[in-house]
Amino acid sequence: MIWNKARECMSRDELMTLQGKRLVSLVKKVYYSVEYYRRKMQQEGIEPGDIRGIEDLNKLPFTTKEDLRQASPYDFLAVPQSEIVRYHSSGATTDTEIVVGCTRHDIEVWTECVARCIHMAGFSKNDTIQIVYNYGFLSEGLGIHRGAEKVGASVVHSPINNMENVIKIMKRLNVTGIICAHSNLLRIGRIVESMNEMKNLKLKAAICGAELCSERMRRDTKRMLNIETYDIYGLNELAGLGVACDCKYHKGLHIQEDYFIPEALYENTNTVAKDGESGELVFTTLQREGMPLLRYRTGNQAIITRDRCDCGRTSARLSLLGDKINDMFVIRGVSIFQFEIEDMFERLNDMNARYLMRIYAEANLDMIDVLIAIANFGGTLPAEEEFIRERVITEVRNTIGITPRVLFTDIEGVQETAIGDYTVVDERK
Ligand SMILES: [Zn+2]
């Protein structure tokens, strides 16, 4: 199913002409309205008139995450604040996150992109779609919601903090499509399997974004829910989820090229990688009004291919490399995901402690220590030490099948062993 045939199936020549036209007016716009770009272009001796089409793209300066982080949310706005109807952020509400301002038109473009993606995964007005994202400062939930409504589907939102409730709603409303993060889909799958609810569900497919999926996760989902999974890609800096999505042939994610020009650049040389070869993924936003970006370096490694897909779409396709959710550990032959360990600690966390799992090898045998940091730990332990120890041992044994050594310490003790905020340290690597 193709939502916008005129755009998604246009010939490559037509597409490049359209991109060129849009690029020329974008460059004029940012030169005269965004101080950062005017300065950068002047430093490199480029004037808006030097950009006459898509072939001049490589003359333009790059934009980096660091540039956006160091700027105030207003520095990159190409319109007056009065035109901004919504702000989103690339992360939690800390000072270092990138804040993106959207105009009404930006929201409409984003909605169109999401509608194309949802249709690509086979959903229409005959479907009931459940969105399992939080609708916060981050952009996933709201953008997806409007796109699903544009397609005409019946849309229901379920917050992610109660997966059993998600399944109840799914059952009650005969939900046929779910849109969520891959790790949450796996969580749902495991609960459905344990409740033996599969027979009562009408699910056909899932669209998963915000995380990349490993093949194992895709297989596990297929086994547990018997549904097909589609990947959706996007960055808050560009628009949110909806920049690209895969079709039923799963040969890379179709990029909405009338709105975003993709480039893959070879490391160090910054030259454009050949089709099918990997490079750093760079995007130029062609129709963003609020915060347009020239050659934004995403930091992701990807392969772009432009051969025609069997689905009939002519757009370039994206295969993202690295950083997949391969956070899987094999301990004495048992596979376990990082999030399963985090869930386990979550179940234990009624005494407000910090947990850390240390995996190491001793005489070629995998071993586990669980470090428990209790606030104000003064070397003596509460009377219930044995009770806590037994609970932790039971949880770990039930989850992984191995009896851990449990060590009580203070926060500093955990921080010395931990790497950042991670809850698992695998010292065998
Ligand atoms: Zn396709």
CATH (domain of 178): 3.40.50.12780
d(CA 140, CA 236): 8
Number of domains comprising the chain: 2
Q: Which two tokens stand for residue 35?
A: 């101080």
pLDDT tens for the chain, 429 residues: list them. 899 999 999 999 999 999 999 999 999 999 999 999 999 999 999 999 999 999 999 999 999 988 998 888 899 999 999 999 999 886 654 566 788 999 999 999 999 999 999 999 999 999 999 999 877 766 678 889 999 999 999 999 998 778 889 999 999 999 999 999 887 888 888 889 888 899 999 999 999 986 666 666 777 788 889 999 999 999 889 888 999 999 999 999 999 999 999 999 998 788 999 999 989 999 999 999 999 999 999 988 889 999 989 999 999 999 887 644 446 677 877 767 777 787 788 777 666 678 888 999 888 788 999 988 876 655 555 666 777 888 889 988 888 888 999 988 877 777 777 665 567 888 886
Going by C-alpha positions, the residue among 257, 261, 301 that lies closest to residue 277 is 301
What distance in angstroms lies between residue 266's CA and the mean position of ligand 1's atoms?
25
Q: Do both 299 and 381 map to the same domain?
A: no
Q: Do both 317 and 337 map to the same domain?
A: no
Q: Which two tokens stand for residue 246?
A: 């895969």
Amino acid of residue 402: I
What distance in angstroms lies between residue 233's CA and the mean position of ligand 1's atoms?
15
CATH of the domain at 344: 3.30.300.30
Q: Do both 266 and 335 map to the same domain?
A: no
Q: Which of 261, 296, 322 is the last residue of a domain?
A: 322
Q: Are 3 and 116 in contact (CB under 8 A)?
A: yes
Rounded to 10 deg, the angle between the 338-348 and 182-195 helix axes is: 70
Q: What is the pLDDT of residue 324?
A: 44
Q: What is the pLDDT of residue 160?
A: 79
Q: Do both 179 and 147 map to the same domain?
A: yes
d(CA 242, CA 36): 27
- Give the range of the structural domain holding residue 341, as residue numbers without chain letter: 328-426
What distance in angstroms lies between residue 313's CA and the mean position of ligand 1's atoms?
6
Q: What is the pLDDT of residue 325?
A: 41
Going by C-alpha positions, the residue among 195, 197, 248, 186 that lies closest to residue 223 is 186
Which DSSP state fits 272? B
Q: Do both 93 and 230 map to the same domain?
A: yes
Q: Do both 348 and 203 map to the same domain?
A: no
Q: Do both 134 and 261 map to the same domain?
A: yes
Q: Which of 297, 322, 347 is the last residue of a domain?
A: 322
Q: Which of 275, 296, 322 is the last residue of a domain?
A: 322
Sign of the CA dihedral with 351 first, then 384, 412, and 421 last: negative
How many other CB atoms are there within 10 angstroms of residue 286's CB atom? 21
Q: What is the pLDDT of residue 294?
A: 98
What distance in angstroms lies between residue 416's CA and the mean position of ligand 1's atoms?
48
Q: Do both 188 and 317 map to the same domain?
A: yes
**Virtual torsion, Cα 187, 188, 193, 199, nearest 10 deg:** -170
Q: Do both 374 and 281 map to the same domain?
A: no
Amino acid of residue 88: H
d(CA 287, CA 300): 22
What distance in angstroms lies between residue 158's CA and the mean position of ligand 1's atoms?
30
Q: Do both 8 and 110 map to the same domain?
A: yes
Q: Do both 291 and 259 map to the same domain?
A: yes
Q: Do both 124 and 72 map to the same domain?
A: yes
Q: What is the pLDDT of residue 46?
A: 96
Going by C-alpha positions, the residue among 125, 117, 224, 112 that lies closest to residue 179 is 117
Q: What is the pLDDT of residue 210?
A: 62
Amino acid of residue 397: R
Q: What is the pLDDT of residue 428?
A: 81
What distance in angstroms lies between residue 12's CA and the mean position of ligand 1's atoms?
15
